[in-house]
Amino acid sequence: MKLFIDSANVADIKKAYKVGVLSGVTTNPSLVAKEGVKFEDRIEEILKLVPKVESVSAEVTPDAITAEEMIAQAEELIKINNYDKNITIKLPMTLDGLEACRYLADKGIKTNVTLIFTVNQALLAARAGATYVSPFLGRLDDISEDGVQLVVKIAELFRIHNLDAQIIAASVRHPDHVTRVAMAGAHIATVPFSIIEQISKHPLTDQGLEKFAADWKKAVKS
Is 90 noted as a catalytic residue in this protein?
A: yes
Task: Give dist(CA 88, CA 210) in Å, integer.
Answer: 43
Kindly report the backbone phi and psi dihedral angles of residue 123, in degrees, each rounded to the nearest multiple of 5, phi listed first: -60, -45
- The residue type found at 219 is A
Q: Give me the DSSP letters along 25-75.
A: EE--HHHHHHHTS-HHHHHHHHHHH-TTSSEEEEEPPTT--SHHHHHHHHH
Task: Give dist(CA 135, CA 157) in Å, integer.
Answer: 14
**38: Cβ–Cβ under 8 A, 6 or more apart, which residues?**
none
CB atoms within 10 A of CB 108: 7
- The residue type found at 82 is N
- 180 half-sphere exposure, CB direction, 13 A CA radius: 16
57, 90 contact by CB (below 8 A): yes
CB atoms within 10 A of CB 22: 21
116, 136 contact by CB (below 8 A): yes
Residue tagged active-site, from 90, 110, 211, 218: 90
Q: Which residues are catalytic?
A: 90
